[in-house]
A and B are shown apart, each in its own frame.
Chain A
Amino acid sequence: MSRFVKIIILQIVLNLAFALNSFAHKPSDSYIFIRREGDSIFCDWEISLKDLDYAIDLDKNNDGKITWGELKAKHKDIEEYALPQFSFIVKGEKSSYGLVDHLVNKHSDGLYAVLRFKIDPPGKDKLPKTFDITYDFLFDIDPQHRGILTIRHKENTSTYIFSPENSTQHFNLNDSSKLKQLLDFIWQGIWHIWIGIDHILFLLSLLFASVLIREKNAWKEADSLKKVLIEIVKIISAFTIAHSITLSLAVLGIVSLPSAFVESVIAFSVFLAALNNIFPVVYGKKWLIAFLFGLIHGFGFASVLMELDLNKSSLVISLFGFNLGVELGQLAIVLIFTPIAFLLRKTSFYRSLILIFGSIVICVIAILWFIERAFNLSFLPF
């Protein structure tokens, strides 16, 4: 190439040299929304007017402005240019389209032309659950272009990206996944209890003394397993009922509390529960403590669940599954803790090392948590 070209390229390089950061605005995208209405499938395809102008020249009078009149004059051309590059394929056969309307819509980088059409699949099934979509639009003139497809099926909305490397995708809308969803949430619940050390320490602090009886300011071992089990069931049930109530209220959006407040109070509840083992104040009605603070722990669970899924249709499944998972996780802790504590309850190891020293350690951790959470600091590794 000529020297002139060499100079141009050096200028371009310089032009960008001090300008690596290119947060300008988004590259070219088109948006495709597919939804079912009654017994038909409808599609809104939104394409940037700037892209269309580059591809098929919308600005007829060359004044640098695209008017609705100019766009209307090109509607036929847009259909002929765009529609063949979007295929809705059922069992290897392309669907035909019935055009319904031309509209426009606003996006963050300008106005988009909207093609609204009905998808008419080949064969008898007018609402196929499995199909392929091929999207080849604009990739030849802009490899950075993406087609962003949103499918709304029943109450579920899913998004897919089409790129030059990924221009055909397979879809299966069969909902065999209800059970899988439920299992997923149960697992999330179990997992959350197991990694949520604050909940575990709160429960353990309440359970430590459940194998003992407080008499005349001194600890005495409980004589029957039955009494111990009743005590544990009371505590766990109270905790469960309480956190189920607030978890549901929070997820349904009826009540909401600031998360910094919730997390701080949870830390404080751990501190109080452990402190109560060292300086017993409440020992008959520990289920009441479990219930009261269970309400706050429920808000903590809710913040996790709300991060996982906000889908309305699966709300019941997710609430139920997550709650069940939390209970199962708790039950596992109780099942491990109870036999060991019951066997060890007479030893001084249990009473001094586990009950007193253990509670002191928990108190310290809880206070540190409280400071971290209330003052937005971070120094603990967990």
Chain B
Amino acid sequence: MKEKLFIALTVCFLSLCSYGAAFIPSKDSEVLEVLPKGSISGEVKRLKTILFINQNDPELAFKAASKFIQIGKAESDPRYFGYAESIVNKWIERDSENLDWYVLRATISQYNHKFNKALKDLDFVLKKDKENPQACLIKSNLLCTQGEYLESKRYCLPLLRSAGEIIAIGCASYSSGLNGSAERSLILLEGISPRLLKSPVEEKVWILSLKADLAQRLDKKELAEKYFNQAVILKPNDSFLLSNYADFLLHEQKLDKVINLLKDRTNNDGLLLRLAIAEKEKGLIKESKLHSEELGIRFIEQKLRKDFVHHREEAIYYLKLLDDPVKSLELAKENWQIQKEPIDVRILLESALKRKDKDSIKEVESFLTKTKLEDVNIESLR
């Protein structure tokens, strides 16, 4: 029935309330599209040319694919992940012995929420190279996403030898931090922080994000805000970081800060969602409604593809913006089949409590008992 309702909505979208009717611009000088920052669009062109000229150089192809992934993330545009995937797929056929291609493809699949596809590539790599650092790290992360917190830690140990202490400790603290040792994990991360001075920005931001998440779940609000701030200064355009930071600020009711942080980032659907929630909670009804409608259209366009997987955000959208706990619970349950990070626990529990859905509440309770997950935001709901 849900399927049919969706089809009905889609039909409505396609036939009646089409996003905009096609038109012919009036002036030649009218700007139709601003490409990702000038330098990046130049970079993309350069990479394309390099690839075209050096069609037989795997190392150049690898660098290009990696660069596309970085651009995709910076621009929050899945297109660039697609460009990277196309390069990787071509090279896996030509150079099937080289495990790095599989790791790269797993990274892309992970980003696209194709977790099983990612696990398949990772297991292939780990079978041939047990201690492959990249594969170990992604696999550990993926298992955390799927709620296998305990199992995920097993893949951090090999990192000590193959990737160094900082990455191994980061990996292990993330798993343990979800698994009943949040306090200890935070202390561990504080301990290695002084050694990060010469590390690349990625590493610094990663450790800061881990610390911010732990501090937030342990109810150390000031500490969490400090780490989030430091991380955002280092990488002001990291949408994932911003989205986590916004969730924290929303929980603290620091609505103005959320609006300031996100008002110019409405391109990113996840950030637009947080912005609309902040506006709604602050009583900016007009702005919130406008953004909420825009999001609704984006959900419909995303779902036209039929491979839509972002039920987490959709559940939050229905719960917080449309005040529809019935739909939100349905989506939160669907999301629960795919991912079980603290934020997924929160949205499932919150919708289930609103609907007094005993089964889902029991499911969350037994998950919390099993994993010993510590999170004040979850505690405050119970």
Please tell me if the beta carbons of B141 and A25 are within 8 angstroms of each other in the complex: no
Instruction: Output the least CB separation between B231 and chain A (Å).
Output: 10
Please tell me if the beta carbons of A142 and B86 are within 8 angstroms of each other in the complex: yes
Please tell me if the beta carbons of A1 and B98 are within 8 angstroms of each other in the complex: yes
Please tell me if the beta carbons of A27 and B305 are within 8 angstroms of each other in the complex: yes
Please tell me if the beta carbons of B305 and A29 are within 8 angstroms of each other in the complex: yes
B13-45, CB under 8 A of A: which get 1 and which 0? 011000111111101111111111110011011
Q: Which residues of A contact B104 (CB under 8 A)?
A: 9, 12
Q: Which residues of B contact A50 (CB under 8 A)?
A: 33, 35, 77, 79
A9 to B230, CA, bound (A): 24
How many residues on B have C-beta within 8 angstroms of the other chain's C-beta atoms?
110
Closest residue on chain A to residue B24 by CB atoms = A103
- Chain B residues proximal to chain A, CB less than 8 Å: 1, 4-5, 7-8, 10-12, 14-15, 19-25, 27-38, 41-42, 44-45, 48, 58-59, 62-63, 66, 69-70, 73, 76-79, 81-83, 85-86, 89, 98, 100, 103-104, 107, 110-113, 133-134, 137-138, 141-142, 145, 163, 167, 170, 174, 200, 202-203, 206, 209-210, 213, 238-241, 243-244, 267-270, 273, 294, 297-298, 301-302, 304-307, 310, 312-313, 325, 339, 341, 343, 355-358
Please tell me if the beta carbons of B28 and A159 are within 8 angstroms of each other in the complex: no
Please tell me if the beta carbons of A379 and B356 are within 8 angstroms of each other in the complex: yes
Q: Which residues of B contact A49 (CB under 8 A)?
A: 32-33
Q: Which of B25, B30, B238, B240 contacts A21 (CB 8 A)?
A: B240
Closest residue on chain B to residue A25 by CB atoms = B269
Please tell me if the beta carbons of B69 and A12 are within 8 angstroms of each other in the complex: yes
Please tell me if the beta carbons of B145 and A20 are within 8 angstroms of each other in the complex: yes
A103 to B85, CA, bound (A): 31
Give 28 CB contacts A-B under 8 Å: A5-B62, A8-B63, A12-B70, A17-B137, A19-B238, A19-B241, A20-B111, A21-B343, A22-B112, A23-B310, A24-B76, A24-B78, A27-B81, A27-B305, A28-B82, A54-B79, A62-B38, A64-B38, A67-B31, A103-B24, A104-B24, A105-B21, A140-B86, A143-B82, A144-B78, A144-B79, A157-B15, A307-B5
Q: Interface segment, A68-76, A124-132, A327-335? A: A68-76
Q: Which of A6, A54, A71, A143 contacts B32 (CB 8 A)?
A: A71
Q: Which residues of A contact B209 (CB under 8 A)?
A: 18
Please tell me if the beta carbons of A13 and B59 are within 8 angstroms of each other in the complex: no
Please tell me if the beta carbons of A53 and B82 are within 8 angstroms of each other in the complex: no
Please tell me if the beta carbons of B41 and A59 are within 8 angstroms of each other in the complex: yes
Interface of A is mostly: mixed
Q: Which residues of B contact A13 (CB under 8 A)?
A: 103, 107, 134, 137-138
Please tell me if the beta carbons of A9 and B30 are within 8 angstroms of each other in the complex: no
A14 to B112, CA, bound (A): 16
A265-298, CB < 8 A from B: none
Instruction: Output the least CB separation between A195 and chain B (Å).
Output: 11
7 closest Cβ contacts across the A-B interface?
A: A142-B82, A69-B28, A19-B240, A24-B76, A64-B38, A27-B78, A144-B82
A230 contacts chain B at the CB level, 8 A cutoff: no
Q: Which residues of A contact B14 (CB under 8 A)?
A: 33, 150, 157, 159
Please tell me if the beta carbons of A72 and B28 are within 8 angstroms of each other in the complex: yes
Q: Which residues of B contact A16 (CB under 8 A)?
A: 69, 73, 107, 110-111
Q: Which of A17, A51, A101, A146 contacts B305 (CB 8 A)?
A: A146
Q: Which residues of B contact A141 (CB under 8 A)?
A: 82-83, 86
Instruction: Output the least CB separation between A16 and chain B (Å).
Output: 6
Closest residue on chain A to residue B344 by CB atoms = A21
Please tell me if the beta carbons of A65 and B34 are within 8 angstroms of each other in the complex: yes
Please tell me if the beta carbons of A28 and B33 are within 8 angstroms of each other in the complex: no
Please tell me if the beta carbons of A59 and B107 are within 8 angstroms of each other in the complex: no
A157 to B98, CA, bound (A): 47
Please tell me if the beta carbons of A106 and B19 are within 8 angstroms of each other in the complex: yes
Instruction: Output the least CB separation between A286 and chain B (Å).
Output: 33
Decide yes or no: A66 and B113 within 8 Å by CB, A1-B59, A14-B202 being known contacts: no
